[in-house]
């Protein structure tokens, strides 16, 4: 039996308007991201950018989770240099391509968005979450840091103080709190309500002027400085610590890590 790809792409059309849907399709792994998935996201961004008939993009996850982040099996054994070169910079590039698309991007969170999963959602322009979803950046509990520019985007979205709260404590917040903090702009009661609200957003986006929306996105995108290499170096430094190796071992062994600050 043929296995479905880990990322699905669909071109949707309704009432003469078209939009793209990207679905993370590893539900048995919490839609955790791998290197091929990162490469696929970058390639899809190129495809979408070149299709002027697409008015919007929706990113969603299949199953119980939107995305639980980077698959620890994909990065846990990488050396610091490999981490920066093969994992962090490609992820930053892929998420950056999504963020800079001329079309508005919606992250539809029908489940938890954690770590790299929240970073992917932060690359979108709009976020909607079901009430049961939790959002968080737990990387400090593994001895690493959010690798794909998530800390910066988080601070830009909810403010530095709240970004500190989320990133330093590493505790996930509820969808209701995310709405209050501006991390999402709508909360749905269930999957059916999410689809209804998403449909209303798409209906509006598909009737707005594409050039105007692209220009607005360009102005907002110009606020970002290029800190990719500084960020990848910081992640590599964290990945080279004994604490990171202990965090990875503890995760795999399903126990609480013991960090020794070295």
Structure tokens that stand for 120 in this block: 């992917």
Alpha carbon separation from 241 to 62, 77, 144, 235, 253 (Å, rounded): 34, 13, 9, 10, 19
224 pLDDT band, cuts 50/70/90, is low
Instruction: Sort strands 54-61 and 105-109 into parallel, antiparallel or unpaired.
Output: parallel
Strand partners, 104: none
Q: What percent of the chain has pLDDT over 90?
A: 70
Question: In b/e form, how buried is each residue of 19-55, taking b as 16+ CB within 10 angstroms?
Answer: bbbbbbbbeebbbbbbbebbebbbebbeebbeeeebb
58 in Cβ contact with 71 (< 8 Å): no
Active site residues: 119, 139
| DSSP state at residue 8 | E
Instruction: Write down the residue that tokens 């963020």 correspond to.
Output: 99
**Residue 241: left (phi > 0), alpha (psi -120 to 50), or beta?**
beta
227 pLDDT band, cuts 50/70/90, is low
pLDDT for 18-52, tens place per residue? Answer: 999 999 999 999 999 999 999 999 999 999 999 99
Alpha carbon separation from 156 to 64, 122, 222, 225 (Å, rounded): 28, 10, 13, 12
Closest by CA to 137, choosing from 128, 125, 149, is 149
Domain regions of the chain by residue span: 7-205
Alpha carbon separation from 202 to 44, 52, 121, 193, 196 (Å, rounded): 19, 16, 17, 14, 10
Q: What angle in degrees, to the nearest 10, is found between the helix axes of 35-50 and 89-99?
A: 30
| DSSP state at residue 33 | B
Assign 148 to helix, strand or coil. coil
Domain 7-205 listed as CATH 3.90.226.10: yes
Closest by CA to 60, choosing from 238, 228, 191, is 191
Closest by CA to 95, choosing from 21, 154, 45, is 45
Strand partners, 117: none
Cα 157 to Cα 218: distance, rounded to the nearest angstrom: 17
| Entry pTM | 0.85
State the CB neighbour count (10 A cutoff) for residue 99.
20
pLDDT for 180-218, tens place per residue? Answer: 999 999 999 999 999 999 999 999 999 999 999 999 998
pLDDT for 84-111, tens place per residue? Answer: 899 999 999 999 999 999 999 999 999 9
């Amino acid at each position: 039996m043929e296995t479905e790809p880990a990322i699905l792409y669909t071109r949707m059309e309704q009432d003469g308007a078209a939009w793209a849907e990207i679905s993370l399709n590893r539900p048995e792994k919490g839609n955790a991201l791998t290197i091929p998935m990162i490469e696929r996201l970058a390639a899809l961004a190129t495809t979408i950018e070149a299709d002027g008939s697409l008015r919007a993009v929706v990113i969603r996850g299949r199953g119980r989770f939107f995305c639980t982040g980077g698959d620890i099996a994909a990065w846990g054994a990488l050396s610091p240099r490999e981490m920066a070169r093969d994992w962090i910079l490609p992820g930053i590039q892929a998420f950056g391509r999504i963020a800079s698309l001329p079309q508005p991007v919606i992250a539809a969170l029908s489940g938890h968005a954690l770590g790299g999963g929240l970073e992917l959602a932060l690359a979108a322009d709009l976020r909607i979450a079901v009430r049961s979803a939790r959002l968080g950046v737990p990387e400090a509990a593994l001895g690493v840091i959010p690798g794909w520019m998530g800390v910066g985007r988080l601070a830009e979205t909810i403010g530095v103080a709240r970004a500190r709260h989320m990133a330093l404590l590493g505790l996930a917040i509820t969808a209701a709190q995310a709405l209050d903090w501006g991390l999402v702009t709508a909360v749905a009661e269930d999957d059916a309500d999410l689809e209804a609200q998403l449909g209303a957003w798409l209906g509006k986006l598909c009737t707005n002027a594409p050039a105007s929306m692209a220009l607005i996105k360009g102005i907002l995108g110009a606020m970002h400085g290029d800190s990719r290499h500084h960020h990848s170096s910081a992640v590599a430094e964290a990945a080279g610590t004994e604490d990171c190796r202990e965090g990875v071992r503890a995760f795999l062994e399903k126990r609480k890590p013991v960090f020794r600050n070295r």
